[in-house]
Amino acid sequence: MTRRHWIQRGAGALAALALPGWGGCAAIGSATTGSAPGLPGQPGPAGDMPPPAPREFRGAWVASVANIDWPSQPGLPAAQQQAEMLAMLDRAREIGLNAIVLQVRPAADALYASALEPWSEYLTGEQGRAPSPWYDPLAMWVREAHRRGLELHAWFNPYRARHPSAKGAPSPRHVSVTRAALVRSYGDLQWLDPGEAASAAHTLAVVADVVQRYDIDGVHIDDYFYPYPVALPNNAGDLPFPDDAPWQRYRDSGGTLTRDDWRRDNVDRLVRAMHETVHFLKPHVRFGISPFGLPRPDLRPPGIEGFSQYDRLYADVERWVDNGWFDYLAPQLYWAIDRKPQAFGVLLEHWAAYTAGAGAGRHLWPGLFTSSVGGAPGTSRPWAAEEIVNQIALVRPRAAASGHIHFSMVALMQDRAGIATALRNGPYRAPALAPATPWLDDERPMPPALEHGWSGRWRLRVVSGVAPFVWAVWRRVGGTWRFAVQPAADRDIEPAGADLLVASAVSRTGQESERTVARVG
């Protein structure tokens, strides 16, 4: 099982008008720009035009199951939940992250207002009980993340119906009650049977509901397809997953696949349908998958050993890569650089080569086990912060790998062994835009106007079209370019000693406009 799997099972715990007092457009011109394949360590050289904007996806998972990250305890007052949320978003912005991957459906429940599934026990302490005073957590997460220029990806567990950390009875609205024929008991879990077409239909309806009602930037699923095997006593093998009824119906209908291939086909169908559903509803919303980090056994590099998700979870990740059924892949590379049977660098190189060779052009953003820094449940030895810093350094030179995601936010909030400080002062000392996703939308926004006011500040204004997601801003100070990313709602620019300002608008899919240039003074 993955280390994250161990933790999740075992942890206890705008278009806008210029305001009066602002002068007319003072730009001295605009120019085209490109994208940087890597992340420069220092600002670009002096000149009248800055270098390409740095690009790197810098995310962190926020897990709600077992209250790993948020909220810190079930049943906290709404005001305390909100305070924890804002503190996490502020820390993410302060460190230099540009995305949060928030678990909104840990076990066929909801951390948002849903007509399809009950409120989560991990939120209010009782499944089905709404927050009091009432608020919609996902709506607030999205609003506050965007206010800080952060993306918010909604993370769903597609099949899990009850986690062993759950303490209360299921709500009368929970799928284990309303559609009990779809749910199987397996070890200390309850699971929506992937062999039942109605299970997939229900999950797709849940995802579609969130995509339609919330302004999220991504839909995300992790490594929980068929459940991780439960060992029988006395080395008697694994407890069989109880899917005899749908398997027999499949055979009676003339199905010819083996049972293992049939199970993989069930998962394939959901992954493909989720990819198509998300993009049909909102083409700019990215669909991401974070599978177990080891490749299929027959495709592994020499020396790589361990658990086979292809044979045990029935996840044919390589097929998903071949068909481009996602926008980003975040394999959980939760091993140290010097861990020989699962060496981080070897696995990274494999996934980078495989995703690049597939020809679909999808993003690769590997998952990093940042919670192992300073020690975490299920780890053999604590990592130093330098392990994660060094892993990021290995990711960056590979053109196919344009970012990474930390598991999980709690380690960054606690600054375990100085990891948050090391990131802020090291690899994240320069901000970065998220990589562009041109296969979803390659239309560039219009360049902004730069207007000068009497107070000495400058203001960005949307000239036409839709407001950007963020602004990219450069200041030339003492001959050196300094780069910043500003949320779309933050339109004021302090020169901060610059003699030249350059700004561009960046769309929801990361497309950058032409640049507008203004000479200060």
Residue range of the domain that includes 496: 22-52+440-519
Count other C-beta atoms under 10 Å from residue 129's C-beta. Answer: 16
pLDDT tens digits along 299-320: 999 999 999 999 999 999 999 9
pLDDT tens digits along 401-446: 999 999 999 999 999 999 999 999 999 999 999 999 999 999 999 9
Reported as a pLDDT band with limits 50, 70 and 90, residue 400 is confident
pLDDT tens digits along 55-72: 999 999 999 999 999 999
Reported as a pLDDT band with limits 50, 70 and 90, residue 358 is confident
Q: Is 224 helix (H, G, I), strand (E, B) or coil?
A: coil
In this structure, is residue 432 part of a structural domain?
no
Residue 272 vs residues 289, 437, 502, 505: alpha-carbon distances, Å = 11, 19, 41, 32
Q: How large is the average pLDDT for residues 185-191?
A: 97
Reported as a pLDDT band with limits 50, 70 and 90, residue 488 is very high
Is the pLDDT at 112 greater than 50? The verdict is: yes
Let me know whether 48 and 68 are in one domain: no
Among residues 425, 453, 485, which one ends one of the domains? 425
CATH number reported for the structural domain that contains residue 449 in this entry: 2.60.40.10
Q: Is 283 helix (H, G, I), strand (E, B) or coil?
A: coil
Q: Is 106 helix (H, G, I), strand (E, B) or coil?
A: coil
Is the pLDDT at 256 greater than 60? The verdict is: yes
Is the pLDDT at 230 greater than 50? The verdict is: yes
Let me know whether 346 and 476 are in one domain: no
Most confident of the following: 33-37, 39-43, 449-453: 449-453
Selection from 489, 409, 490, 396 nearest residue 435 by Cα:
396
State the pLDDT at residue 36. Answer: 36
Among residues 425, 457, 486, which one ends one of the domains? 425
Q: Which two tokens stand for residue 451?
A: 């207007």
Among residues 395, 425, 455, which one ends one of the domains? 425
Instruction: Quickly list DSSP for 312-381.
Output: HT---HHHHHHHT--SEE--B--S-TT-GGG-HHHHHHHHHHHHHHHSS--EE--EE-GGGBT--TT-SS
State the pLDDT at residue 359. Answer: 73
Let me know whether 239 and 287 are in one domain: yes
Distance from C-alpha of 119 to C-alpha of 106, rounded to nearest angstrom: 11
Let me know whether 48 and 83 are in one domain: no
Domain count, the chain: 2
- CB burial of residue 31 (10 Å; 0-12, 13-18, 19+): middle
In this structure, is residue 3 part of a structural domain?
no
State the pLDDT at residue 377. Answer: 58
Q: How large is the average pLDDT for residues 202-230?
A: 98
Reported as a pLDDT band with limits 50, 70 and 90, residue 203 is very high
Q: How large is the average pLDDT for residues 141-156?
A: 98
Name the percent of the chain lying above pLDDT 90: 85
pLDDT tens digits along 471-484: 999 999 999 999 99
Is the pLDDT at 23 greater than 60? The verdict is: no
State the pLDDT at residue 185. Answer: 98
Sheet arrangement for strand 470-477: 29-31, 515-519, 500-506, 470-477, 480-487
State the pLDDT at residue 380. Answer: 65
CATH number reported for the structural domain that contains residue 261 in this entry: 3.20.20.80
State the pLDDT at residue 378. Answer: 58
Contact 321, 358 (CB under 8 A): yes
In this structure, is residue 179 part of a structural domain?
no
Let me know whether 466 and 371 are in one domain: no
pLDDT tens digits along 449-460: 999 877 788 999
Residue 273 vs residues 158, 296, 325: alpha-carbon distances, Å = 12, 23, 9
* Cα angle 69, 70, 76; round to 5: 135
Let me know whether 477 and 449 are in one domain: yes
Name the percent of the chain lying above pLDDT 70: 90
Contact 429, 463 (CB under 8 A): no
Distance from C-alpha of 224 to C-alpha of 221, rounded to nearest angstrom: 8
Q: In degrees to the nearest 10, what's the CA dihedral of 421, 424, 429, 431?
A: 180
Q: How large is the average pLDDT for residues 280-298?
A: 98
pTM for the whole structure: 0.92
Let me know whether 43 and 62 are in one domain: no
Is the pLDDT at 18 greater than 80? The verdict is: no
Q: How large is the average pLDDT for residues 39-55?
A: 65
SS3 content of the chain, % helix, strand, coil (to 5): 30, 20, 50
Q: Which two tokens stand for residue 142?
A: 């999205």
pLDDT tens digits along 209-218: 999 999 999 9
Reported as a pLDDT band with limits 50, 70 and 90, residue 47 is low
Is the pLDDT at 134 greater than 50? The verdict is: yes
Q: Quick one: which H or E segment has residue 138?
A: helix 137-147
Is the pLDDT at 247 greater than 50? The verdict is: yes
